[in-house]
Amino acid sequence: MGILFSDAFDSYGVTADMLSYWGIIQSSAWAFNATAGRNGGGAMVGTAAAAIVSRIGVLNSNTVVGAGFWMKFSAAPAAAYDFVNYVRSDGVVQGALRLNTSGQLVMRDVPFSSDRFTGATNVCDNQWHWVEHYLTMTNVSLSQKCYVDGITQWNTGFNVGSAGATLNYVYLSAQASRTVTIDDFIVFDASNGAPIPSDIPLGPRLMTTIRGNGDVATGFTRSSGASNFSMVNEVAADGDATYNEGTTSGDADLFDYANLGINPASINAVVAKMCVENPNPGTINVRQAVKSVSTTTQGSTIVASSLYNTFAQPFPVDPNTSAAWTVSGLDAAQFGYNIP
């Protein structure tokens, strides 16, 4: 898998749209903003004590977990609090990135109520900062790492939380009387693909969102219009207003996509997302796919539920080369979905 959960916050219209991908938004203290992102796109903005929570089961890891995100905090918190929390399946927080009253990140071992390490960088200065965190969940002393804008905050070892605890989900908390903005949030492990936690520090990363702009194959039946891609390339998923529908094994859509539009030094991975539901009785499976030149890779098979949910499929390498994506390779690739 490599990437377990990621969000560029570029594919929503209003805050409620996030519930197709995130598990919980605790209150109106968190709000989607279409222009507040690190590079002008969408971001999530918190202004009071509340959390946004990933889906249950997105982590499913008891080894090492890496995280990276852009953050902008208007001022240091009035009281230290746990900002990013890594949680077991039973709801017990195992580790956290804490913010102290000086605006520094702190490695918090929650089960043992211990602040292990304190970073040197003030991240609460109302400026954007790229944060990377490496967290182990084993019963031996392994590295715990944190970097801010590529600068080491800590890189040393201790036993965090319960030995071998399996992390299950992650959540981010805002605080009263402060404004926190989050963009390009990513969590990953070492199970498969890239990036993996040992790659940290990656250095500042950017997520770019591109959308379908042309039909290649149209096996699904569109709800209206003259093209299948135009039914599913909206910024915010519009439910039953426009959609493509398939009912039979072998039904498949494949689309051309807009070019990346930038020239990064490297591409860690490509993540394709689809919003899907099953409005009928019975069970139906669906999966995503990518075609590069003449090679097609199928994503994981998922069961479509009776409500619209957004599913993410990482494609860490170019299927045509089995190596990291290049800009030209990505620009030429085609993505879609099918019924196995």
pLDDT in tens, 56-92: 888 877 678 899 999 999 999 999 999 999 998 888 8
Percent of the chain past pLDDT 70, that is, above it, reads: 96
Please compute the mean of the pLDDT values over residues 252-266 and round it to a whole number. Answer: 95
Residue 302 has pLDDT above 90, yes or no: yes
What band does 1 get if pLDDT is binned at 50, 70 and 90?
low
Q: Does residue 291 carry a pLDDT above 80?
A: yes
Mean pLDDT value of segment 198-227: 96
Confidence (pLDDT) at 163: 57
Q: Is the pLDDT of residue 139 over 60?
A: no
pLDDT in the model for residue 256: 98
81: closest CA among 104, 58, 55, 111? 104
- When mean pLDDT is compared over 138-142, 250-254, 266-270, the highest value belongs to 250-254
Residue 272 confidence (pLDDT) above 90 = yes
Question: What is the pLDDT at residue 89?
Answer: 84
Contact, 93 vs 136, CB < 8 A?
no
Q: pLDDT by residue (tens digit) across 140-197?
A: 556 789 999 999 999 987 765 555 678 899 999 999 999 999 999 999 988 877 788 8
Residue 231: the pLDDT is: 98
Q: What are phi and psi of 51, to 5 degrees?
A: -125, 150
Domain extents in the chain: 3-199, 212-338
d(CA 54, CA 191): 19
Indicate the pTM of the whole model: 0.94
Q: Does pLDDT of 19 surpass 60?
A: yes
Q: Tell me if residue 11 falls in helix, strand or coil.
A: coil
Buried b (16+ CB within 10 A) or exposed e, 157-169: eebbbeeebebbb
- Mean pLDDT for all residues in the chain: 92
pLDDT beyond 60 at 31: yes
Looking at domain 3-199, its CATH superfamily turns out to be: Exo-inulinase; domain 1 (2.60.120.560)
**Residue 71: CA atoms inside 13 Å, Cβ hemisphere, count?**
33
